[in-house]
Amino acid sequence: MNQMDDILENVAIGAWVKAFSRAPGQANAPHESDAELIELPGDPEHLLAITIDTVAEEIHTGLYQESYTMGWVAVMASLSDLAAVGADPLGMVVSVSAPSGRDSGFAESAGRGMEDACRSLGVFILGGDSNLTSEISLTGCSIGIVPKSAALTRRGVKPGDAVFLTGRAGIGNALGLVKLSGLPDEYFPESNYRPSARLAAGRALRDHATAAMDTSDGVLTTLDQLMRLNGCGFEIKCDWPMILSEDVLALCDRTGTPYWMMLAGPHGEFELVFTVPATEAEAFPEKSRALGFDTIRLGTVHQKAVITLALPSGRQVDIDMSSLRNLLDTSGGDLSHYLSEFRKMGGSWGLE
């Protein structure tokens, strides 16, 4: 776990965690699962899963400009954490803070984003809180239940395991690139960013995956965190047309953006990264289709705690995500500095 402290976000979370006593009936330790898992007094067969997520930074930096997107993501970000522990959702509560929190226009369209996200997954908003603030901030809190013997966590990755993704990735970083570089909206319209929580996949993975975590902070950040938690690394086969969404590939081609940036950036989507024992790996894609979801083979878990990209050229490049993950903190909110340093990072890793 020592490697965890190389990441400033982990340290920041640690400062809060340090203040709090540990709950007796809690099944997970800090950082070890996407949602918190706690015993239910009246139901010894299940754990209650609970998770809270605030959408604020993405709004202030201009990544989300449509109220609908803000509402959609506030719901999905939270449900995605339930997906990553394999939970069946019981419902959500939301807290909405906005200057126009009492202006029905904002409520109408952010509320529609929330409701559409919920309806697409059969989940319900049970209630919430509203506040008048000068900045918009939307918080979603989801609860669910998961069989005690089968809850998924981020721990359990073993060398030799195969690592998969529940769908093509990159739309989060594609949106980030367009909004932060000030590219015209048509390069990647905000409405292309409608990531969905993989609840059905998470449920099905309960009996198969050795570990799971969502890609809300980008695919490589997810792999990096899994690496630090489990003490083993990943070899990722960079078959770009298989890993990245078509509209993401098109954006990269049109703007001359290297593909790796779409996995390395910190704004992800809500796919799951999960690992499966070597013995199940070959048959898994077919099995997952039978279970009702697609999987993309990302690569293999190896002993050494490093992420190795196997590029289409045949070259293998070891990357160190720590400076990139810390870049948002160290660049102190200067987004153009952030973007130029981000691009340079590839060069330092030996990427073109």
Query: 3 to 22, contacts with a second copy by CB under 8 A?
Result: 8-9, 12-13, 15-16, 18-22
* Smallest separation, CB 319 to a second copy (Å): 24
Q: Which of 5, 102, 242, 315 binds a second copy (CB under 8 A)?
A: 102
How many residues at the interface with a second copy, by CB under 8 A? Answer: 73
Is residue 315 at the binding interface for a second copy, with CB under 8 A as the rule? no
Q: Which of 4, 6, 93, 150 binds a second copy (CB under 8 A)?
A: 93
Structure tokens at 253: 């081609």
* Cα angle, residue 273 at apex, residues 212 and 18 outer, rounded to 5°: 50
Contact region with a second copy (CB under 8 A), list: 86-94, 189-197, 267-275, 337-345: 86-94
- Candidates 315, 226, 188; CA nearest to 7 is 226
Is residue 46 at the binding interface for a second copy, with CB under 8 A as the rule? yes
Q: Which of 3, 4, 95, 200 binds a second copy (CB under 8 A)?
A: 95
Is residue 324 at the binding interface for a second copy, with CB under 8 A as the rule? no
Is residue 141 at the binding interface for a second copy, with CB under 8 A as the rule? yes
Distances in whole angstroms, Cα of residue 216 to Cα of each of 51, 61, 266, 269: 14, 17, 8, 5
In three-state form (DSSP H/G/I as H, E/B as E, the rest C), the secondary structure along 120-183 is HHCCCEEEEEEEECCCCEEEEEEEEEEEHHHCCCCCCCCCCCEEEECCCECHHHHHHHHHHHCC
The 8-class DSSP code of residue 26 comes to: B
Is residue 121 at the binding interface for a second copy, with CB under 8 A as the rule? no
Is residue 186 at the binding interface for a second copy, with CB under 8 A as the rule? no
Q: Are 198 and 290 in contact (CB under 8 A)?
A: no
Query: Which one, 168 or 325, has the nearer CB to a second copy?
Result: 325
Q: Which of 3, 4, 6, 54 binds a second copy (CB under 8 A)?
A: 54
Query: Which one, 136 or 307, has the nearer CB to a second copy?
Result: 136
Distances in whole angstroms, Cα of residue 106 to Cα of each of 92, 136, 139, 159, 239: 20, 10, 15, 49, 41
Quick note: the x/- pattern for a second copy over 200-239, rule CB under 8 A, is ----------------------------------------
Contact region with a second copy (CB under 8 A), list: 101-109, 167-175, 201-209, 222-230: 101-109
Q: Which of 2, 104, 186, 256 binds a second copy (CB under 8 A)?
A: 104
Name residues contacting a second copy, limited to 260-289 (CB under 8 A): none
Rounded to whole angstroms, how far apart are CA atoms 114 and 110? 6
DSSP reduced 3-state for 236: strand
Contact region with a second copy (CB under 8 A), list: 114-122, 195-203, 275-283, 336-344: 114-122
Q: Which of 7, 48, 79, 321 binds a second copy (CB under 8 A)?
A: 48
Query: Which one, 131 or 340, has the nearer CB to a second copy?
Result: 131
Rounded to whole angstroms, how far apart are CA atoms 26 and 47? 9
* Smallest separation, CB 35 to a second copy (Å): 8
Q: Are 225 and 268 in contact (CB under 8 A)?
A: no
Rounded to whole angstroms, how far apart are CA atoms 158 and 230? 8
